[in-house]
């Protein structure tokens, strides 16, 4: 089974973050520039939240709030669900499904290591399945 560490090693450990006092517009501009669906919110080295496209849609756009005037801290998710590097892709997929989320920060001994998305998990799980199928075909073919 593929672990979170293996997924991070393959995709990279890049973490994009903004500060709680940054504007929603700033967060959205970073998300667009980096082509990601979420940014982490850090106060110094401390992870204090996550802001996603869903948070923007529900907490800013649909409420008629202004992106240049709304601070990230006003609309971010403060209760961040995270995983550790040893956990499996299957565990992460179950957690994402249960919590209805698409991004998981990866924390090792209190330190932020990276972020994985549902897309990263799907890519990994498909590669695992393709490998297993290839092995079975080779075994059956003799």
- Which of 110, 124, 120, 122 shows the shortest CA–CA distance to 82? 110
* pLDDT computed for residue 130 by the predictor: 73
Q: Which domain holds residue 106?
A: 4-141
Domain count, the chain: 1
Tell me, what CATH number does 17's domain have?
Answer: 3.10.580.10
Question: For residue 12, what is the enclosing H or E element?
Answer: none
Of 97, 124, 119, the C-alpha closest to 4 is: 124
**Running along the chain, 142 residues long, what does each successive block of 10 average in pLDDT?**
94 95 99 97 95 97 97 98 97 96 96 95 82 76 77
**pLDDT (0 to 100) of residue 73:** 98
State the pLDDT at residue 59. 97
Note the pLDDT of residue 55.
97
Tokens of 32: 């667009």
Instruction: Quote the tokens at residue 6.
Output: 């293996």
């Amino acid at each position: 089974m593929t672990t979170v560490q293996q997924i991070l090693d393959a995709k990279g450990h890049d973490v994009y973050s903004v500060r709680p006092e940054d504007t929603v517009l700033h967060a959205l501009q970073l998300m667009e520039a980096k082509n990601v669906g979420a940014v982490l919110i850090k106060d110094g080295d401390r992870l204090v939240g996550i802001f996603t496209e869903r948070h923007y849609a529900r907490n800013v756009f649909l409420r008629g709030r202004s992106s240049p005037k709304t601070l990230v801290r006003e609309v971010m998710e403060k209760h961040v669900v995270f995983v550790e590097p040893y956990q499996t892709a299957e565990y992460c997929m179950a957690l994402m499904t249960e919590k209805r989320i698409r991004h998981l920060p990866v924390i090792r001994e209190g330190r932020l290591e990276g972020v994985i998305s549902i897309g990263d998990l799907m890519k990994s799980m498909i590669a695992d399945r393709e490998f297993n199928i290839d092995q079975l075909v080779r075994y059956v073919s003799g």
